Amino acid sequence: MTATTHTPGSRPRTAEPDRRTPVLSARGLVKTFGKVVGLDGVDLDLYPGEVLAVIGDNGAGKSTLIKCLTGALTPDAGQLFLEGRPAHFKRPQDARDAGIETVYQSLAVAPALDIASNLFLGREKRRRGPLGTVFRMLDQKGMRREAAQALADLGIGTLQNVAQAVETLSGGQRQAVSVARAAAFGSKVIVLDEPTAALGVKESTQVLRMIEEVRSRGLPVILISHNMPHVFEVADRIHIQRLGRCAGVVTPQSHTMPETVAIMTGATTLEQTPGRTTT
Amino acid sequence: MTTTTPPTSAAQQFALRRHSPLQRVQHLLHAHPAISPFLVLVLAFVVFATLNPRFASPNSLSLVLQQVAVIGALAVGQTLIILTAGIDLSVGAIVILAMMLSAKLAEGQGLPGVLAICLAVAVGAAAGALNGALVTRLRLPPFIVTLGTLSVFTAIGLLYSGGQSVQATDLPPVLSWTGESFPLGPFRITIGVVAVVILYLAVGFALAKTAWGRHVYAVGDDKEAARLAGIRVDRVLVSAYLVAGAIYGITAWILIGRAGAASPNAITDANLESITAVVIGGTSLFGGRGALLGTLLGALIVGFFRSGLSLAGVDDQYRVLAVGLLVILAVAVDQWIRKVRA
């Protein structure tokens, strides 16, 4: 487990500017693909211990934004700041090394490998002593123990056997393995791309509980989702992407679901619908 | 998800149903893919020993081990490549290249024996690395790359050696040392067989117990997932091809001892036979699943069929027929196991 220095305490529940230093922030991100404009100068702030939802219609630039934040794409212009310091991610591994863990929609698990191996994939632990240093032997027992602990920490006690192959799991259980991997290794930010898109009601609820569990540890979460009820259930703030720009940042308290969707689709704007002030 | 509370819904009851015996077999094979080749091996042993008791004699079994050594060694490298969801058709070509290069230099230029062996391993590793580089840099399918290098390496080996064999008597003794045998109880074991056993232990350990092995499996299982998990996929692929090439280089040494000469015609069927051993051993041609133990069993099965059917006085074509059927059966079983679900 990674220790976090953030205090979960006061989460921003308003659209008012926050005085604290954002864990991750983006300024003026631009990303074009030939003549297609993916991002047209986007600002984003993620504060300690909050769940920031990123919503938007297809083609609004959600994925592009997330890819720029996690190193899968390099923005054409604009800057990223991690805890106030400029950051440059050329590869996903750079972002991961900096403490930003991403759960991709495709889950990025190796189906034939067991749960513990998947949790530690790419960061395996070796045995102590010459067995580990000379023969590079894996600490299989230790990894299994820690994997079981990581799953239990997120309230997923039902996966008793961490030596089980991932392909024998249900969609929700696979999602749980991916989220557990991110939560176990992400030290600063966790990004979840459509974590409930392929899940049923019960499994979705479990994933939402996991997101809340991660937040309660003080780790901020960026949640990309199409599902408004899910977004309104767990998000502290909602970043609305529209046509490559940020159409506004609202909260579940300041705006209703229909108002938020209206801003997202361009039926109204944040100026026309300022929402309730919650001071 | 299943819960610990008593099942309430019909679906939960369905999820907790008892598996049928067939499903349990499927799950067992899924967890331990080497079981089916092991059963085939035991069955073959019993049947052939019944047909002709001489089959089970130490002499005959020692001979099987010596016959299996070369293909068994090549199959170690082939397993590595197939686990990454690739295939290596240049197996035999790399052996010929490594063997003829080092044998010619040892014979003509007086290259010391130990250095000649090191050269064979280095040539094999370099040839394997070239395969790996072509697969990762040019993004060509392994089948095409190794089909090409099969011809390239064979041609270079033949051109350099002028198509001539080099007799072991003209070579430093250490090059044919792998053909020397010693008694082990009632068996006669050659140094070559010992070398193969060491190969299996070393590579088996690397595959099962190190991060590199995990990564080989992960890359073969789902390349994109492996990349997103932070594994440097290209590096893993090149290393697998390189190690496989080095193993083919070691096999060249084993082959000189076994054949008593460095002959460019010594292993004509190496490609298909090594793939056969891997597939019968339960490793999936689609990558990511299988075990080196299975490959060893697969190589032994082919050896048992060769020896057993010939001792039973049956035409050798029945062996070819039987091995062909085994390959189809093994792949069918693999497809079935892959459908396993919770």
Say whether pLDDT at A247 is over 50.
yes
* Angstrom distance (rounded) from CA A82 to CA A86: 6
Say whether pLDDT at B97 is over 90.
yes
Helix (H) or strand (E) holding B127: helix B113-137
Classify burial at B139, counting beta carbons within 10 Å of its beta carbon; exposed 0-12, middle 13-18, buried 19 or more. Answer: exposed
- Contact (Cβ atoms closer than 8 angstroms) between residue A35 and residue A259: no
pLDDT (0 to 100) of residue A19:
65
- For B21, the token pair is 């015996």
Contact B229 A122 (CB under 8 A): yes
Picking from B59, B54, B65, the residue whose alpha carbon sits closest to that of residue B303 is B65
Picking from A68, A40, A70, A18, the residue whose alpha carbon sits closest to that of residue A237 is A18
Domain assignment present for residue B111? The answer is yes
DSSP for residue B170: G
How would you classify the pairing of strands A189-193 and A221-224? parallel
* Angstrom distance (rounded) from CA A3 to CA A26: 25
Domain assignment present for residue B182? The answer is yes
pLDDT (0 to 100) of residue B15:
59
Contact A158 B226 (CB under 8 A): no
Q: Kindly indicate the confidence band of residue B16, based on its pLDDT and cuts at 50, 70 and 90.
A: low
* Angstrom distance (rounded) from CA A279 to CA B139: 58
Interface test with B, best of A90, A96, A136, A199 (most B CBs within 10 A): A136
CA angle A108, A109, A110 (to 5 degrees): 125
- Contact (Cβ atoms closer than 8 angstroms) between residue B227 and residue B233: yes
pLDDT (0 to 100) of residue A180:
87
Picking from B86, B165, B164, the residue whose alpha carbon sits closest to that of residue B128 is B86
Domain that holds residue B247: 60-268
For A124, name the nearest residue in chain B, comparing CA atoms only.
B211
Tokens 């220095």, located at residue: A5
Q: Kindly indicate the confidence band of residue A276, based on its pLDDT and cuts at 50, 70 and 90.
A: confident
What's the domain count of chain B?
1
State pLDDT tens for residues A107-154: 788 888 999 999 998 888 898 888 888 888 999 899 999 888 888 887
Tokens 């108002």, located at residue: A259
Domain assignment present for residue B294? The answer is no
Per-residue exposure over A201-234, b if at least 16 CB sit within 10 Å of its own CB, e if not: eebbebbbebbebbbebbbbbbbbbebbebbbbb
* Angstrom distance (rounded) from CA A222 to CA A95: 14
Contact B2 A92 (CB under 8 A): no
Say whether pLDDT at A10 is over 80.
no
pLDDT (0 to 100) of residue A184:
87
Tokens 């039902």, located at residue: A158
State pLDDT tens for residues B172-184: 999 999 999 999 9
- Can you name the residues that pair with A79 across neighbouring β-strands? A27
Domain assignment present for residue B324? The answer is no
pLDDT (0 to 100) of residue A17:
53
pLDDT (0 to 100) of residue A240:
94
CA angle A91, A95, A99 (to 5 degrees): 155
> Within 13 Å and on the Cβ side, how many CA atoms surround A235?
34
How would you classify the pairing of strands A237-242 and A245-250? antiparallel
Q: Which residues contact A82 (CB under 8 A, 6 or more apart)?
A: A23, A24, A98, A99, A100, A188
Contact A112 B217 (CB under 8 A): yes
Does the A35-265 domain belong in CATH 3.40.50.300? yes
| Amino acid letter, A202 | K
For A55, B136, B216, B238, B288, the CA distances from B86, given in Å and listed in that order, are: 40, 11, 11, 12, 10
* Angstrom distance (rounded) from CA B165 to CA B292: 33
* Angstrom distance (rounded) from CA A184 to CA A173: 16
pLDDT (0 to 100) of residue A278:
53
Domain assignment present for residue B321? The answer is no
Say whether pLDDT at A12 is over 80.
no
State pLDDT tens for residues A91-114: 888 898 999 999 988 778 888 899
Using the Cβ of B10 and the Cβ atoms of chain A, whether some distance falls under 8 Å is answered with no
* Angstrom distance (rounded) from CA B82 to CA B80: 6
pLDDT (0 to 100) of residue B11:
56
- For A184, the token pair is 């176990």
Lowest mean pLDDT among A120-129, B150-159, B206-215: A120-129
Say whether pLDDT at B89 is over 90.
yes
Q: Which of B2, B30, B210 is opposite residue A137, by nearest beta carbon? A: B210
Give just the sign of the alpha carbon dihedral B226, B230, B234, B235: negative
Q: Kindly indicate the confidence band of residue A1, based on its pLDDT and cuts at 50, 70 and 90.
A: very low
Using the Cβ of B234 and the Cβ atoms of chain A, whether some distance falls under 8 Å is answered with no
The chain A residues in contact with chain B (CB within 8 A) are 92-93, 96, 102, 104, 106-113, 117-118, 121-124, 126, 135-138, 140, 158, 165, 167-170, 172-173, 202-203, 206
Residue B112: CB atoms within 10 A of its CB come to: 12
Maximum Cα–Cα distance across chain A: 67
- Can you name the residues that pair with A197 across neighbouring β-strands? none
Per-residue exposure over B211-232, b if at least 16 CB sit within 10 Å of its own CB, e if not: bbbbbbbbbbbbbebbbbbbbb
- For A52, the token pair is 């920031």
Say whether pLDDT at A9 is over 90.
no
Domain assignment present for residue B154? The answer is yes
Radius of gyration of chain A (CA): 19
Q: pTM here?
A: 0.85
* Angstrom distance (rounded) from CA B333 to CA A72: 39
* Angstrom distance (rounded) from CA B102 to CA B176: 12
pLDDT (0 to 100) of residue B24:
83
Domain assignment present for residue B198? The answer is yes
Q: Which comes out higher in pLDDT, residue B298 or A175? A: B298
Lowest mean pLDDT among A159-163, B36-40, B71-75, B191-195: A159-163
- Can you name the residues that pair with A81 across neighbouring β-strands? A25, A86
Q: Kindly indicate the confidence band of residue A13, based on its pLDDT and cuts at 50, 70 and 90.
A: very low
Picking from B196, B191, B198, the residue whose alpha carbon sits closest to that of residue B177 is B191
Contact A113 B221 (CB under 8 A): yes
* Angstrom distance (rounded) from CA B153 to CA B151: 6
Question: Which of A66-80, B94-108, B117-131 is modeled with the greatest confidence?
Answer: B117-131
- Domain locations along chain A: 35-265
State pLDDT tens for residues A206-225: 889 989 989 998 899 999 99
Phi and psi based region of residue A218 (left: phi greater than 0; alpha: psi -120 to 50; beta: remaining): left
Chain-wide mean pLDDT for chain B?
A: 90
Chain pair A-B, CB pairs under 8 angstroms: 88
DSSP for residue B269: S
Say whether pLDDT at B115 is over 50.
yes
pLDDT (0 to 100) of residue B110:
83
Q: ipTM > 0.85?
A: no
* Angstrom distance (rounded) from CA B104 to CA B261: 11
